[in-house]
Chains A and B, each alone.
Chain A
Amino acid sequence: EIVMTQSPDTLSVSPGERATLSCRASQSVSSNVAWYQQKPGQVPRLLIYGASTRATGIPARFSGSGSGTEFSLSISSLQSEDFAVYYCQQYNNWPSFGQGTKLEIK
């Protein structure tokens, strides 16, 4: 099983600033990584797939990068609606998720 480890567990950032979330795979997953946003009481929403391709309707302030074992999700100029929990997922083989990073208002 490929273990996805996200860091940090909680990230405190002020609105308008940039946030960078990290995700590390226990072995190479090529570019087969997706990122999801989940707000309290809501269903996860796909943000990024293929490590760097934004899903339909996702604002350009969200960007993903990385390949192999190291991945990141960046959110430029944080808006109030961006404070949520973010999960990475690898789908190179048996899918697995990271434990999540909570992005909170500083």
Chain B
Amino acid sequence: QVQLVQSGAEVKKPGSSVKVSCKASRDTFSSYAINWVRQAPGQGLEWMGGIIPIFTTTKYAENFEGRITITADESTSTAYMTLNSLRSEDTAFYYCARASSLWSWLDPWGQGTLVTVSS
């Protein structure tokens, strides 16, 4: 069973950065893309960007360009999403999800990481 396991909840101050990790089973990591999606409380889903680890190819949504960095460590089968210059509106659940490419359906999803931005 393919699994994506994310890091735990974070509380951050406005203006700071957060780095969320997503560990995958090795066969999943090598052959697929990892995408990141966020969901503010009570709101819908928002695609943030993704990475193809084997090629280190990344794509970012325009809304996050300049504030987001997605990286991957093939040796540990772990993807990372760093979001900078946090503001209260960034309070959300952040999900990683597997995809066959950067433009693809998402399955499965990680369990989600709640990031709370508060002074």
Contacts and interface: CB of A to CB of B under 8 A. Distances in A.
A95 B109 contact: no
A97 B99 CA distance: 15
B35 A95 contact: yes
Given A49-B105, A55-B107, A91-B104, A43 B62 contact: no
Interface residues of B, number: 21
A97 B104 CA distance: 12
A34 B105 contact: yes
Contacts, number: 55
Interface in B1-55: 35, 37, 44-47
Interface in A1-53: 1, 32, 34, 36, 43-46, 49-50
B62 A91 contact: no
B87 interface: no
Interface of A: 1, 32, 34, 36, 43-46, 49-50, 55, 87, 89, 91-100
